[in-house]
């Protein structure tokens, strides 16, 4: 029997929302303080996903202020397809509030935002048989809206607040047969996360809860996947049902630490007595009937393409004057004259290696593993010296130095997950390419770059930065390290 491995999209890809158009599936995730916002993926089998773009890819759609804190920004999108058009609704929690964008093709271009005046986060869209559009938000309330203008036509109406656990959120409405099903997350997005369901004959309610709520929770278990919740449902062409959801993979000694953020998992769904039923989310499951592996773009970027790959993200904004692919062809040039520039990709594997070759010129530039501004490890080069710098909360410390000759230099971080009853979830080893090969400069404990220490809703990203002057990067390489 063919099986698939969870997570299906590793690394910081939380709050997945999925829709199917024919035999094609599309999935969107939260992006929080990063630009461009809302990564968008395509699959033909729910297992193999390829990023095809970012929904919010221009400042007119997403303009996060410089003081946007980590884990603010864009929360919990819902992706839907209706009458030949794609809709995505989400919330900018420190900016414009809830808004929706539309597109004829998932690759875009996506429209400018249409503001929707509904209170709350985690907005959902669903259409009834009369063509009415309903928007549910955390809480949980529902409003009838005009998606063309964002005007609220009815509501908000309180419909169901869950089973009594904290933070009823992530609502999704589905019409299945004669029933409207409301699926929510509750219990908070940490260890107590869960999925519960209620149903009614109308979107307005009244809703009756499922007798077996929560239908999914891994709390108080020893399962390797934890914090399961914030789910969305989809049907395959063969009539089978599937759930995408977020979860974490904690490691290390109590309380255990997860460093990749909340990732996207897939699990099968069955129906019994008129209710969806979900078993524990496993690291391996029997695969869907369709099986369409895709050719993923290379994880090594030589910066030879005319545009940046979809996977590159930056905190809050990416001003055009801060980067160039043409100033030095075949190199990515970053400019810090208007402030630090940082281009990163998500860490997606517990064991991995990231390297880059830098020509620092007279600037200060390097390779960083980041949770947020107060929690990151860096290896940088400036003034003929390579340094490893650890920033943990208010404390910053230079932990190693190594002299190098002027000119390009290769910097590397190796990340290795720990085994057994160890305090650290992983170890980060920083090295520089010397005249006789790699020179290890420092080994650092990975727990300080974890959600449990840093807080927030994101995961690690790894990338290139410049904080002084201008620097050029010949290539960046990220690889899963196989044991």
Please report which helix (H) or strand (E) contains residue 454, including its range.
Answer: helix 451-454
Q: Which tokens hold the place of 428?
A: 């980060």
**For residue 99, is pLDDT > 90?**
yes
**For residue 421, is pLDDT > 90?**
no
Domain 3-286 maps to which CATH number in 3.30.360.10, 3.90.1150.10, 2.115.10.20, 3.30.420.40?
2.115.10.20
Give strand ranges (E) for 12-132.
17-21, 24-28, 34-35, 37-43, 50-56, 74-82, 85-92, 97-103, 114-115, 124-127
DSSP string, 337-378: TTS-EEEEEE---SSEEEEEEEE-TTSEEEEEEEEETTEEEE
Helix, strand, or coil (residue 461):
strand
Q: pLDDT tens-digit profile of 307-358? A: 999 999 999 999 999 999 999 999 999 999 999 999 999 999 999 999 999 9
Is residue 15 part of the annotated active site? The answer reads yes
pLDDT of residue 423: 86
Q: pLDDT tens-digit profile of 58-71? A: 999 999 999 999 99
pLDDT of residue 228: 98
Q: pLDDT tens-digit profile of 164-222? A: 999 999 999 999 999 999 999 999 999 999 999 999 999 999 999 999 999 999 999 99
pLDDT of residue 210: 98
pLDDT of residue 90: 98
Q: pLDDT tens-digit profile of 230-273? A: 999 999 999 999 999 999 999 988 889 999 999 999 999 999 99
Closest CA to 341 of 449, 469, 432, 461: 469
Please report which helix (H) or strand (E) contains residue 344, including its range.
Answer: strand 341-346
Going from N- to C-terminal start, the domains of the chain cover: 3-286, 314-480
As a whole number, the mean pLDDT across the chain is 96
Q: What's the CA angle centered on 107, arms 67 and 43, to 5 degrees?
A: 105
Q: pLDDT tens-digit profile of 106-142? A: 999 999 999 999 999 999 999 999 999 999 999 999 9
- Cβ(472)–Cβ(356) below 8 Å: no
Distance CA 435, CA 191 (A): 48
- Cβ(43)–Cβ(64) below 8 Å: no
**For residue 483, is pLDDT > 90?**
no
Is residue 169 part of the annotated active site? The answer reads yes
HSE (side-chain half, CA atoms, 13 Å) at 436: 1
Q: pLDDT tens-digit profile of 402-411? A: 999 999 999 9
User: Tokens 């990975």 belong to which residue?
Assistant: 446
Indicate the pTM of the whole model.
0.97
Q: Of 15, 57, 378, 380, which residue is the catalytic one?
A: 15
Q: Of 122, 124, 169, 263, which residue is the catalytic one?
A: 169
DSSP string, 227-245: EEEEEEEEE-TTS-EEEEE
97 has which bridge partners? 92
- Cβ(410)–Cβ(371) below 8 Å: no
Q: Which tokens hold the place of 122?
A: 């985690």
- In the chain, % of residues over pLDDT 70: 99
Number of H helices, E strands in the chain: 1, 38
Q: Into which CATH architecture does domain 314-480 fall?
A: Sandwich (2.60)
Distance CA 20, CA 201 (A): 24
Task: Please state the φ and ψ torsions of residue 453, each to the nearest 5 degrees.
Answer: -95, -50
Q: pLDDT tens-digit profile of 284-309? A: 999 999 999 988 888 899 999 999 99
Q: Which tokens hold the place of 94?
A: 């420190």
pLDDT of residue 318: 95
* Cβ atoms < 10 Å from Cβ of 44: 18
């Amino acid at each position: 029997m063919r099986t698939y491995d969870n997570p299906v999209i590793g690394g910081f890809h939380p709050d997945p929302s999925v829709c199917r158009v024919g035999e094609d599936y599309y999935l969107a995730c939260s992006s929080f303080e990063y630009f461009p916002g809302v990564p968008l993926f395509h699959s033909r089998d729910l297992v193999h996903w390829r990023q095809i773009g970012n929904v919010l890819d221009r400042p007119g759609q997403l303009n996060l202020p410089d003081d946007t804190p980590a884990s603010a920004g864009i929360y919990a999108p819902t992706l839907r397809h209706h009458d030949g058009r794609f809709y995505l609704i989400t919330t900018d929690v420190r900016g414009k509030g809830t808004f929706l964008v539309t597109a004829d093709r998932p690759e875009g271009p996506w429209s400018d935002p249409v503001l929707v005046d509904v209170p709350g986060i985690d907005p959902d869209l669903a259409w009834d048989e009369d063509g009415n559009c309903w928007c549910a938000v955390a809480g949980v309330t529902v409003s009838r809206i005009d998606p063309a203008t964002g005007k609220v036509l009815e509501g908000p109406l309180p419909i169901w607040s869950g089973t009594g656990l904290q933070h009823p959120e992530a609502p999704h409405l589905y019409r299945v047969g004669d029933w409207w099903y409301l699926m929510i997350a509750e219990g908070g997005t940490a260890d107590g996360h869960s999925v519960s369901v209620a149903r009614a004959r109308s979107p307005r309610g009244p809703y009756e809860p499922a007798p077996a709520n929560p239908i999914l929770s891994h709390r108080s278990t020893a399962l390797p996947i934890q914090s399961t919740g914030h789910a969305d449902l989809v049907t395959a062409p063969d009539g089978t049902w599937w759930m995408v959801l977020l979860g974490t993979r904690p490691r290390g000694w109590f309380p255990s630490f997860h460093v990749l953020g909340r990732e996207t998992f897939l699990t099968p769904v069955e129906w019994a007595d008129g209710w969806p039923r979900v078993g524990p989310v496993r690291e391996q499951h029997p695969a869907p009937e369709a099986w369409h592996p895709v050719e993923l773009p290379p994880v090594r970027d030589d910066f030879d393409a005319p545009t940046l790959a979809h996977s590159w993200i930056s905190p809050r904004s990416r001003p055009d004057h801060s980067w160039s692919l043409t100033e030095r062809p075949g190199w990515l040039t970053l400019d810090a004259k208007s402030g630090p520039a940082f281009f990163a990709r998500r860490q997606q594997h517990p064991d991995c290696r990231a390297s880059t070759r830098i020509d620092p010129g007279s600037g200060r530039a390097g390779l960083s593993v980041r949770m947020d501004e107060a929690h990151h490890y860096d290896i940088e080069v400036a003034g003929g010296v390579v340094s490893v710098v650890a920033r943990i909360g208010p404390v910053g410390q230079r932990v190693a130095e190594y002299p190098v000759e002027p000119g390009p230099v290769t910097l590397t971080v190796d990340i290795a997950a720990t085994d057994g009853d160890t305090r650290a979830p992983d170890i980060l080893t920083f090295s520089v390419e010397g005249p006789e090969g790699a020179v290890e400069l420092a080994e650092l404990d990975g727990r300080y770059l974890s959600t449990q220490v840093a807080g927030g809703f994101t995961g690690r990203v790894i990338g290139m930065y410049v904080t002084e002057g201008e620097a050029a990067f010949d290539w960046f390489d990220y690889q899963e390290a196989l044991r």
